[in-house]
Amino acid sequence: MTSTLYTRRQALRLGALGAGAAALSAACGGGAAGGSGKEIGIAIGYGISYAPFTIIQAKRWLEGELPDRTISWKIISGGGTVRDALLSGKLHLGCSGLGPLLIGWDAGVPWKIVSSLNDMPLWLVAKDPRFKSLRDFRQGDQIAAVQPGSIQSVMLQKAAQQQLGDPHALDKNIATMAHPEALEALLGGQIAAAYTSPPFQFQAVEQGARKLVDSYDLFGKHGFNVVAATEQYAEQNPDVLTAVHKVIARANDFITRQPAEAAKILVDAEKGKITAEQYEKYLTYEGIEFTTTPHGLVKLAAFMKEIGVIKKAPSDWRDVVFDTVRNENGS
């Protein structure tokens, strides 16, 4: 009897050991950042900022450049989450606004810009007529942004500094929301204001909201979203970086030259409520430029450092980019 008990106990122990080993190896396998596997994981977000990627996907340009790789596309909201996914090695290229990119770079995250996507004006919009300027916001009046530290949050801080004298006056009013949710919450009256991006800010205005802040008034024309990768991945996969930069440039050119065609592709890809005419209007909106070159990065970083969001700012925009865009005319 005892001997059978023994084997049972030993079997249990063996089983536990085996399960532990399996879990450990699974964890280690997943934890390897970088890697030069065949699969390329790319994350994009919500909005027409990612239109180049929609076109690249539809036309299968990246598959054309990298025939021996499989590409998996994901949608992830917020540069902070993208950063975590890149570091965990599950994702290889991800989009981030300049805010989270600089925060990560400042904290020592080994990531840099592969290519910019665009310059876009970012608007703070409110629907309730009570809100005419930032002065009208009280404690508890929530302002949606993708995350604290996002480029929209930084714009809000710049506007708060100008209008209220304290860049952090509205920090506690920020509510973390992805752009589509923010638009719905704004129109439904659940939040006071939303700091989103094109096309959500345009849609909000079309449905009765007003523009309170325009980021171009604060910083001039500036970059919005960029594609980032870890240094390790970039080192091991220079061909992927070159290809991605190349197809983005191609897509940007396509959008700029044939916005009507591009709008049709967006409509087909989304199957949403926005018509091709609307998309064309959004894509060609004054101030929107699809470009691979980061603009206004140094100015934005200097402000983030000034208000204590980051501790060090790059003195040269080339400090935070890979070779792919180093020779372009950035700022």
Tell how strand 143-145 and strand 193-195 pair up.
Answer: parallel
Show Cβ contacts of residue 257 under 8 Å, excluding neighbours closer than 6 positions: none
**52 or 148: whose CB is closer to another protein?**
148
174 touches another protein (CB under 8 A): yes
Asked if 152 touches another protein (CB under 8 A), the answer is no
Binding flag, residue 26, another protein (CB under 8 A): no
CB of 89 to another protein, least distance (A): 9
Binding-site member from 190, 236, 242, 256 for another protein (CB under 8 A)? 190
Interface with another protein in residues 56-85 (CB under 8 A): 78, 80, 83-84
Q: Give start and end residues of each alpha helix (H) in the chain.
A: 2-31, 51-59, 61-65, 79-88, 98-107, 151-164, 179-187, 200-206, 215-219, 231-236, 238-257, 259-270, 276-283, 297-306, 323-326
CB of 25 to another protein, least distance (A): 13
Q: Does 314 participate in binding another protein (rule CB under 8 A)?
A: no
How many residues touch another protein under the rule CB under 8 A: the total is 37
The DSSP line for 257-288 is H-HHHHHHHHHHHH-SS--HHHHHHHHT-TT-
Positions 30 through 49 that interact with another protein (CB under 8 A):
31, 33
Which of 97, 149, 167, 199 is the binder for another protein (CB under 8 A)? 149
Site string for another protein, 96-125 (x = CB under 8 A): ----x--xx--xxxx---------------
| CB-based contact 223:114 (threshold 8 Å) | no
Q: Of the ranges 3-11, 49-57, 245-253, 263-271, which one interacts with another protein (CB under 8 A)?
A: 3-11
From 99, 71, 104, select the one nearest 86 (Cα to Cα).
104
The sign of the dihedral angle between the CA atoms of 9, 10, 11, 14 is: positive
Please give the Cα distance from 172 to 243 (Å, whole number). Answer: 41
Binding site for another protein (CB under 8 A): 2-3, 5-6, 9, 12-13, 31, 33, 78, 80, 83-84, 87-88, 100, 103-104, 107-110, 139-140, 142, 147-149, 172-177, 185, 190-191
